[in-house]
Amino acid sequence: MIPITDERPSDADAIEALLDTCFGPGRTAKTVYRLRAGVDPAPGLSLVARDGTDALVGTIRCWPVRLGEDARPSLLLGPVAVDPSLQGRGLGGALIRETLARAADLGHAGVILVGDAPYYARFGFARPPVERLALPGPVDLSRFLGHEIVPGALSGATGLVRPGRRAGAGVPRTADALRPDPCAAIAGAL
Ligand SMILES: CC(C)(COP(=O)(O)OP(=O)(O)OC[C@H]1O[C@@H](n2cnc3c(N)ncnc32)[C@H](O)[C@@H]1OP(=O)(O)O)[C@@H](O)C(=O)NCCC(=O)NCCS
């Protein structure tokens, strides 16, 4: 069994390389990346898997988001990726289950993601919990899914999903101050 451990700062380059391999270099144009830009991953929920040679073969991260009109705190799960040579052996499922278990232990109640419903259904993700939510950009809605760790956690959530607390929030940063909020225009259009 391949051990799953906390991500280390020194894993960053290997993770980017694995994500490029699994998703292609155009991945950062996806709408979910708008929810990750400038935001630190949720503490304790960035995990990796290493093979017997200590090579990084799996990654998963989660991000804080705020859901809808009441800015309900939640998690955005992903990306999750497994080295192509090891796919189909249960590692992706193990990474997701470990992350959800840790999220529950840390007191998180709701999780959203954009991914393949036939895969994520086995972990409890489905469309209904997020049907009244919108993402800040184009997305195939059949792939926008939610999971309630605590029953009812996503109940009634309506409106736009926004990024969670930005890295360094509270510290004035000129570039951020000048950059328009990409969610603002979409929120106005809802
Ligand atoms: C998706 C991914 C993380 C799954 O990891 P994995 O280790 O291969 O998955 P597991 O071994 O735990 O599960 C394998 C099962 O999931 C199924 N599965 C894998 N990807 C799937 C998908 N996109 N849609 C539907 N089913 C999928 C397999 O057919 C297999 O089914 P079985 O159990 O009935 O045989 C991995 O395949 C991967 O990195 N893919 C490329 C990146 C990606 O697509 N990430 C997820 C975004 S949706």
What is the whole-number distance in angstroms between the Cα of residue 8 and the centre of ligand 1? 24
Planar angle of CA 164, 166, 167, nearest 5 degrees: 135
4-189 is classed CATH 3.40.1580.10: no
Atom of ligand 1 nearest to the CA of 83: 39
Query: CB within 6 Å of ligand 1 — which residues?
Result: 22-23, 80-82, 87-93, 115-116, 118-119
Return per-residue pLDDT of the chain as tens, 190 residues.
899 999 999 999 999 999 999 999 899 999 999 999 999 999 999 999 999 999 999 999 999 999 999 999 999 999 999 999 999 999 999 999 999 999 999 999 999 999 999 999 999 999 999 999 999 999 999 999 999 999 999 999 999 999 997 766 654 443 333 344 444 444 444 4
Domain segments of the chain as ranges: 4-189
Three-class DSSP category at 145: strand
What is the whole-number distance in angstroms between the Cα of residue 167 and the centre of ligand 1? 31
In angstroms, the Cα distances linking 139 to 18, 102, 114, 143, 153 are: 23, 28, 8, 8, 23
pTM, full prediction: 0.89
Helices then strands (H, E): number in the chain? 6, 8
Q: How many CB atoms lie within 10 A of CB 29?
A: 9
